[in-house]
Chain A
Amino acid sequence: MEVKVLFFGVLAEVSGTTFKHYQDVRSMGDLKLRIQDDYPEIVHYNFRVSLNSEITDEDSTLKSGDEVALMPPFAGG
């Protein structure tokens, strides 16, 4: 299975990318640890997470094709 992770705002700059695919991640918690392993500096930033465009703070089970976004505080307008 594969999920797509999107990085927005300052997190795209910190990670040096706007997206990355992760294979064989079971849950959101599992995915967050994998992301932190790849980009340790990300823990210094405040952000929320969405699953398929819905903000969530649950440790949801992930399935193939899911899209997870890491979103710093919104700053529109």
Chain B
Amino acid sequence: MEKNYLIHGPVSKEIISKLIERMGVQTDCGGHMFFLGQVRADEIDGKKVKAIEYSAYEEMVFAVAEKIKKTILSEFEDAKSVEIFHSTGVVNAGEISLLVFVSAGHRQQAMLACSKTVELIKENLPVWKKEIFEDDTHIWK
């Protein structure tokens, strides 16, 4: 089955809980690393961001995310698994729009691999964001 890296709306507590539950069966891992990207209520020219609306090139997201996972698992030999979830649609300030979860045999590889995964996502994942202000005007980032 084709894995879906995109979820509509914010990354839910249920997704995070399921990953935490799964950790228990990965007994070959000594370190798990979460990165949770949150929508920030930035203030720009006196206007406050209330939400971000994400859009994505879905077919390309799949190919790019698969490639990122492959890169990480070959570059960090101790990394055992990489999970990526990115939001599409509206995510309010304070909600989570990106989840990266890396499990590795040891802590250092888990931390480095997680950090590298986030950077590769920022550089390569075909996702765009529209910041929506409290007065419903918007800017593209």
Interface on A for B, CB 8 Å cutoff? 6, 8-10, 12-13, 50, 53, 69, 71-72, 74-77
Contact = CB atoms under 8 A, between A and B. Distances in A.
Contacts of B57: 6, 8, 50, 53, 69, 71
Given A74-B124, A74-B126, A77-B118, A13 B140 contact: yes
B97 interface: yes
B60 A74 contact: no
Contact of B98 (A50, A69, A76): A76
A77 B117 CA distance: 11
Interface residues of B, number: 24
Contacts, number: 58
Contacts of A77: 37, 86, 97-98, 118, 121-122, 127
Contact of B60 (A10, A53, A75): A53
23 contacts: A6-B57, A8-B128, A9-B55, A9-B128, A9-B140, A10-B128, A12-B55, A13-B140, A50-B57, A69-B60, A69-B126, A71-B57, A71-B126, A74-B122, A74-B126, A74-B127, A76-B86, A76-B98, A76-B122, A76-B127, A76-B128, A77-B98, A77-B122
